Amino acid sequence: MKDASKIRNIAIIAHVDHGKTTMVDGLLKQSRTFRDNQAEMSQELIMDSGDQEHERGITITAKQTSIFYGDYKINIIDTPGHADFSGEVERTLNMADGVLLIVDAQEGPMPQTKFVLSKALELGLKPVVVINKIDKPARRIAEVEDELSDLFLELATDDSQLHYPIYYAIGRDGKAWREIPTDPSNNADLTPIFEAIINDIPAPSVTADGGFQMLVTSLQYDTFQGKYAIGRIARGSVKRGLAVSLMKQGEVSGSARIEKVFGYRGLNREELDEAFAGDIVALVGVSEAHIGDTIADKEQPEALPAIAIEAPTLSMYLGPNTSPMKGREGEFTTSRQIGDRLRRELETNVALRVEENGIGFTVSGRGELHLSVLIETMRREGFEFEVGRPQVVTITEDGVEKEPIEELQIEISSEFIGAISQELGARHAEMKSQETTASGATRITYVLPTRALIGLRNVLLTATKGTVIMNSLPCGYQPLGGKLPKTRGGVLIAFEAGTTTPYALQAAEARGELLVGPGTEVYAGMIVGIYNRQEDIEINVCKAKHLTNMRSKSSDGTVQLTPFTQFSLEQCIDFIEDDELLEVTPKSLRLRKRYLDANERKRAAKQ
């Protein structure tokens, strides 16, 4: 596409589960990007390609696709909705000229809506609002429009951003309207959205003349071509064989030659002879490129402004496994292999920070979900390691140590308000607002330290019988507060190594909740259950029943055990305390004490 006025670059932003990816599916299908006989035509959530994205039902990494509508080429960027993946949003919004803000007709603007919209408006992107899922029985379109007006008034950086078009859609059915339809079952399609993109989103503001210039906003790899540097061409044009300079932090750091130029069509990359200013392309040949670098014509090496990424808020220790079972289940177990993998991750995961910490590493990210997705990815790749409890990343301003705080929005049934207030009061949370939603639920907004969120989800799910809906959003820093109360009781610790027996577990069951079943191999210092009291206790879960020649009907019956609790990865990370570790292997998750020997634990507790 040579004419930049015929290109539209848009990012689709929204809160989790408001229909971003489903809307992209509809646009891809209506633009006939796929042939009728292609399998993708019947596939849902086409853009969510990762295994974890399918399993969790969320978008984790931002992705690009292109569709053609008449004479226009539309480059679409599908962004994540979680604030934990806000690094993905920050780096990819630089490629867009406008945003499609999708809002649920029942839920309205939510915390992550606020977050991603504020980032878009800071960059001066033109917004187009789509109120989605208008077929919901509990829809409240008029109230949602009022809430959006308040949100734009709060976030807009200039008056022009307060004038935005609103469209109405049922993304799942591929239907959209300019006005609220009287009959949503009519034969509508997404044509109003296509026209909104062409008429309401501006063409790229780029310079066609001059030397080539592009900011790298994304990286991808494959074993055939190697590294792809992806970004929007800001000036000039690029074709195979062009000699370029790579610029880091405004300085020329090396030179390269473009080997291939790829554009996007649907989900596929296709090789181009030449690409022009305004288009989003993937370049092969610049192997040293990183996100935030500028690739510029060698004859005119000028750097573009680097991407500003907010600082991480949580960190955790991640190092090689030191348990007695180390090396049994993982393929990559050494500190060097783990370090190499983390350094590879840094190239594409811009919000991540990694520092060496003894034989292991301190990994910092945007939140528990951000870090747990990395841990799960490494685990599936065959890595074996151990992780510690998440800690907040503090900053020092004017000699005062400050910690990150978050805005937490909770939606619950009114019967659980007391339990929620009690739990959050103990965690130094400050209530900001309370309101009743259209569906009759109570929505409460708190501001609390980020460290108070660690382990909170599990506690609230238990307190509300699994009905709580909670979303959080970073909202600045405050002076470091006092110590928070311990959020859970003591644990049952295996006394010796061996294999658990039903006979021993029956005795352990009377003291608390079991986390292992019979026939499980354990080691001394491993956590096997949750104690009913506040302190920890060592217990023998491998003891067998001694046989005698005396038999009785009552003593020789079958042991009946309550099913044990099996934690997910996120639950394990929430559960561990400062003196505990989580052993992560491709096959198992084991909770353990940092010091396996009981005498070492006592000495450490006295310090």
Query: Could you read off the pLDDT of 208-267 as tens digits, one per residue?
Result: 788 888 888 888 877 777 888 888 888 888 888 888 888 887 788 888 888 989 888 776
Percent of the chain with pLDDT over 70: 91
- Beta strands 527-531 and 430-436 are unpaired
8 A C-beta contact, residue 437 and residue 469: no
Q: How far, in Å, CA of 314 to CA of 56, rounded?
A: 21
List C-alpha distances in Å: 501 to 154, 230, 514, 541.
Answer: 61, 56, 13, 7
Residue 157, strand partner residues: none
> Once rounded to an integer, what is the mean pLDDT over residues 601-606?
86
Dump the DSSP string for 276-333.
ETT-EEEEES-TT--TT-EEEETTS--PPPPPP-PPP-EEEEEEE--STTTTSS-SB-
State both tokens at 206.
């780029």
pLDDT tens digit sequence for 446-470: 999 888 888 788 788 888 888 888 8
Q: Kindly give, in sequence order, each residue whose CB lies less than 8 Å from that of residue 432, ignoring residues fewer than 6 positions away.
A: 407, 445, 446, 447
Residue 88: band (very low, low, confident or very high) from pLDDT cuts 50, 70, 90: confident
CATH superfamily of domain region 213-297: Translation factors (2.40.30.10)
CA torsion 81-87-89-90 (nearest 10°) is 150
Q: Which of 389, 390, 437 is nearest to 409 (CA)?
A: 437
Residue 605 has pLDDT above 70, yes or no: yes
Residue 407 has pLDDT above 80, yes or no: yes
Q: Which of 156-165, 337-346, 459-468 has the highest mean pLDDT?
A: 337-346
Q: Which of 186-200, 266-280, 426-440, 490-504 has the highest mean pLDDT?
A: 490-504
Q: Which CATH number does 4-200 carry? A: 3.40.50.300
Residue 76 has pLDDT above 50, yes or no: yes
CATH 3.30.70.240 fits 395-479, yes or no: yes
Q: What pLDDT does residue 486 have? A: 75
Q: What pLDDT does residue 38 have? A: 46
Q: What is the pTM of this model?
A: 0.80
List C-alpha distances in Å: 154 to 104, 360, 501.
Answer: 20, 44, 61
Residue 1: band (very low, low, confident or very high) from pLDDT cuts 50, 70, 90: low
Distance of CA 334 to the CA centre of its chain: 27
Residue 322 has pLDDT above 50, yes or no: yes
**Which range (262-271, 366-375, 584-593) has the least confidence?**
262-271
CATH 3.40.50.720 fits 491-606, yes or no: no
Residue 22 has pLDDT above 70, yes or no: yes
The more confidently predicted of residues 352 and 18 is 352
Residue 62 has pLDDT above 80, yes or no: no
Residue 300 has pLDDT above 80, yes or no: yes
8 A C-beta contact, residue 367 and residue 311: no
Packing angle, helices 456-463 and 417-426, rounded to 10: 150
pLDDT tens digit sequence for 255-279: 888 898 988 877 678 888 888 888 8
Q: How far, in Å, CA of 315 to CA of 388, rounded?
A: 9
Q: Which of 36-50, 101-115, 128-142 has the highest mean pLDDT?
A: 128-142
- Domain coordinates of the chain in residue numbers? 4-200, 213-297, 395-479, 491-606
Q: What pLDDT does residue 549 have? A: 65
**Which range (1-10, 42-51, 555-564) has the least confidence?**
42-51
